[in-house]
Amino acid sequence: MKKIHSAILMLVLLAAAAGTAGAETLSGLQIMEKVYARPKGPDIQSELTMTLINSRGSKRVRTIRQFIKDYGADEKKIMFFVAPADVKNTSFMTWSYGNSSKADDMWIYLPALKKVKRISSESKSDYFMGSDFTYDDMGNRLPKDDTHKIIGEEKINGEDCYVVESTPKNPDYFYSRTVSWIVKGEWIGMKKEFYDEDGELLKTLTINSYKKVNGYWVITSMEMDNVQKNHKTIMELKDVKIGRGIRDSFFTERMMKRGIK
Amino acid sequence: MRQNRLITAGLALLLMFTGVSAVSAGNISFSGYVRNYTGILVDSDPLDYSQVQNTFDIKADYSGDMGDLHTEGFVYLDADNNLTAGIRELYADIYFNSLDLRIGKQQIIWGKGDGVFITDVVSPKDMSNFILPDFDEIRIGVTAAKADWYVGDFTLEGVWIPVFTPSVLPDSHSIWAVSMDFPAGMTPSIKSAGLPDPTFKNSEGFAKLSYMGSSFDVELIGGYMWDDTPVPHVTKFVPGMPPDVTVTPEYHRLSMAGGSFSTEILGVIFRGEGAYYDGNYFSIDPDNLQTDLIAGGDGTLQKNYLHYMAGMDYSVFGINLSAQFVQQVILDYDSRLKNDEYESTATFLAAKTFLNETLKVQFFGYYGINNGDALLRPSVSYSIADGLDVTAGSDIFMGDSGIFGQYNNNDMVYIKIKYSF
* Whether residue A1 has pLDDT greater than 70: no
Q: Which H or E element spans position B9?
A: helix B2-21
Answer yes or no: is B338 within a domain.
no
**Could you give the 3-state DSSP secondary structure of residue B17?**
helix
CA distance to partner chain B, nearest, from residue A258 (Å): 9
If phi > 0 it is left, if psi is from -120 to 50 it is alpha, else beta; for residue B122 that is alpha
Residues paired with B305 in a beta bridge: B277, B330
Q: Is the pLDDT of residue A165 over 80?
A: yes
**DSSP-derived secondary structure for A115-134:** EEEEE-S--TTSBGGGSS-B
Residue B57 included in any domain? yes
| Helix boundaries (H) for B281-321 | 286-294
Distance from CA of B189 to the nearest CA of A (A): 40
Could you tell me what percent of chain A has a pLDDT over 70? 90
Comparing CB atoms, the residue among B109, B268, B387 nearest residue A120 is B268
Model pLDDT for residues B291-315, shown as the tens digit of each residue? 999 899 999 999 999 999 999 999 9
B352 confidence band (pLDDT: 50, 70, 90): very high
User: B185 and B53, same structural domain?
Assistant: no
**Amino acid identity of A150?**
I
pLDDT (0 to 100) of residue B182 = 85
Q: Determine how many CB atoms are found less than 10 A away from the CB of residue B175.
A: 17
Q: Per-residue DSSP letters for B242-290? A: SSEEEEEEE--EEEEEEEEEEEEETTEEEEEEEEEEEEEEEEBPHHHHH
> How far is residue A45 from each of residues A69, A92, A234, measured CA to CA in Å?
9, 15, 19
Tell whether B365 is covered by a domain.
no
Confidence grade of residue B185 (pLDDT, cut at 50, 70, 90): confident
Q: pLDDT for B203-229, tens place per residue?
A: 999 999 999 998 899 999 999 999 999
* pLDDT at position A153: 95
Helices A28-37/A7-14 angle, 10° precision:
130
In a domain, B174, yes or no: yes
Round to whole Å and give the CA distance between B121 and B144: 14
The mean-pLDDT minimum among A241-255, B8-22, B150-164, B173-187 falls in B8-22
Task: Tell me, yes or no, whether B295 lies in a domain.
Answer: yes
Radius of gyration from C-alpha coordinates of chain A: 18
A113 CB neighbours in chain B (<8 A) are 109, 135-136
**End residue of a domain, out of B45, B75, B105:** B75
Judgement on whether residues B39 and B155 belong to the same structural domain of the protein: no
**Which domains can be identified in chain A, with CATH numbers?**
7-258 (2.50.20.10)
Helices (H) and strands (E) in chain B, counts: 4, 21
Task: Let me know whether B114 and B61 are in one domain.
Answer: no
**Residue at B211 is within a domain:** yes
Minimum Cα–Cα distance from B136: chain A residue: A112
Residue B31 has pLDDT above 80, yes or no: yes
Q: Do both B176 and B250 map to the same domain? A: yes
Q: Which domain holds residue B124?
A: 96-304
Stretch A184-210: mean pLDDT, rounded? 94
Contact A120 B217 (CB under 8 A): no
In a domain, B328, yes or no: no
Question: Which secondary structure element, helix H or strand E, spans residue A235, and what is its range?
Answer: strand A231-242
A117 with B262: Cβ contact below 8 A: yes
ipTM of the prediction:
0.88
| Residue B109 DSSP code | -
CB contact under 8 A, B315 and A123: yes
Q: Which helix (H) or strand (E) holds B404?
A: helix B402-405
d(CA A230, CA B356): 12
- B347, part of any domain: no
B190 & B128 share domain: yes
Q: Are residues B144 and B63 in the same domain?
A: no
Looking at the fold, whether B57 and B109 belong to one and the same domain comes out as no
Domain boundary among B248, B271, B304: B304
What is the distance between the alpha carbons of residues A9 and A40, in angstroms, rounded to a whole number? 7
**Vertex B55, ends B50 and B57: CA angle to 5°?**
145
Please list every residue in chain B whose beta carbon sits closer than 8 Å to the beta carbon of residue A78: none
Q: How far apart are CA B168 and CA B186, in angstroms?
A: 27
Same domain? B286 vs B192:
yes
Could you give the CA distance from residue B6 to residue B14 in angstroms, rounded to a whole number?
A: 12
Is residue B342 within 8 A of residue B305, CB to CB? The reply is no
Same domain, B116 and B196: yes
**Angle ∠(B208,B210,B216) on CA atoms, nearest 5:** 150
Are residues B143 and B17 part of one domain? no
Same domain, B191 and B70: no
B278, β-bridge pairs: B255
Nearest to A119 among B214, B269, B357 (CB): B269
The CB-side HSE value for B264 (13 A sphere, CA atoms) comes to 21
Cα–Cα dist B259/B197, whole Å: 30
CA distance B148 to B105: 16
Chain A and chain B share a number of CB contacts under 8 A equal to: 102
The predicted pLDDT at position A39 comes to 82
Residues in chain A with CB shorter than 8 Å from the CB of B315 are 120, 122-123, 126
Average the pLDDT over A235-249 and give the result.
95
Query: Smallest CA–CA separation between A10 and chain B, in Å?
Result: 21
* Number of domains within chain B: 2
Strand partners, A181: A163, A191
Q: What is the pLDDT of residue B238?
A: 63
Q: Report d(CA B336, CA B293) in Å as an integer.
A: 12
Which residues of chain B have a CB within 8 Å of the CB of A83? 386
The answer to whether residues A38 and A17 touch, using CB atoms and an 8 Å cutoff, is yes
Residue B4 sits in the same domain as residue B67: yes
Put simply, the chain A residues between 29 and 58 with a CB less than 8 A from any chain B CB are: 52, 54
pLDDT grade for B241, boundaries at 50, 70 and 90: low
